[in-house]
Amino acid sequence: MENSYLISKVSEIEDWVISIRRDFHQFPELGMEEYRTRDRIVEYLIEMDIDHYIVANTGVVGIIRGRESGKTVALRADIDALPIDDKKEVPYRSRIEGKMHACGHDAHTAILLGVARILKDMEEDIKGNVKLLFQPAEETVGGALPMIEGGVLENPYVDGVFGLHVDNSLKTGQIGIKYGQMKAASDMIKIIIHGKNSHGAYPQNGIDAISIAGQVIVALQTIVSRNVDPRSSAVVTLGTIEGGYARNIIADKVEMAGIVRTLDENARDLVIHKVKTIVEDIPKAMGGHGELIRTESYTALLNDDSMVDIVKKNGVKLLGMENVYEMPYPSYGVEDFAYFTEERPAVFFHLGSGNEQKGIIHSGHTPYFDIDEECLSRGILLQVANVLEFLDD
């Protein structure tokens, strides 16, 4: 299909897509609370006469069936917002206090609805099927997994999945791709140190949980530097610490919380084992007791090289070679699209949304985050081209 035809089709719906994005931006909803968002998505799918169903409570799946049988490809957009106050001075600023689309999920949703409209108009020429996955809770519990468990990759069987994320570190008109590993795995950790209370004047009668916690903290910082292979890498972060009652009382309990990020499963297993050993053995040696509570979060995101090839090919064709940036290193950020990459050949790429001249320079998860809305049409164009390339291959 000629590039000029697709560009023309996308141009025709550009204002419509921007209006959708701004509507979602004004009414953000947190993970697994996206009821208005879900219902609005359903309204748009009904208007476009696209078959759909609800999954994972607030997720939506749309299905476009081509005239000819063939493969099935899925496109994913996350739909949830963040608990952040929107401090931008724009007409479409969040109307919900303490909630904001500070990571661009409103843009992802609008892009996917734009893709749906283009592909629905072309369904007579499509060979195969397209599944539209509007996924909740990427920022919290990871809505990808319950959607997969709800069968979104079956009936019909999905052969490949495409996902994207806006990125203000890239200019509008650019994309970022990464072969192989793109995102880290993460594990949330809670550490509880138990000691024994005593009067501060008589420390010999107590077991100081704060002193023990200090030793544990120091030891944890040696895991990466002294246990992880330098050719691999990991990050161990403690973000909170709480303990004690008064300045003259030996504390009997300290709680700390943090996160471990790793790039491969061997490093992940090693680091968690070392954390557990330190948390249990150091307090024991000092007369106390330590416990580790680990909550496994997202797995590492590994792109399928053949899927990256498709995105790269279309990026070069539609945006120019100079605007396709191959990321040299994986990110230590996490992304629950990783669950899709575990199940099917899949690719996740970054869509440039920054524009210094427009003041679009703030990164995600900050109260001034915004996007250059010209990126929406680029995202639609690329995803439509990715679908057609995949189904025709």
**Rounded CA gap, 334 and 328, in Å?**
17
* Distance of alpha carbon 88 from the chain centroid: 23
Q: Which residues are catalytic?
A: 298, 373
Tokens 């002193």, residue located: 211
- Give SS3 for 371: coil
Of 222, 213, 232, 334, nearest to 274 by C-alpha is: 222
**Rounded CA gap, 210 and 54, in Å?**
49
* Distance of alpha carbon 113 from the chain centroid: 19
**Rounded CA gap, 24 and 22, in Å?**
5
| Tokens coding 296 | 């496994």
**Rounded CA gap, 146 and 51, in Å?**
21
CB 293 within 8 A of CB 192: yes
> Around Cβ 356, how many Cβ atoms within 10 Å?
10
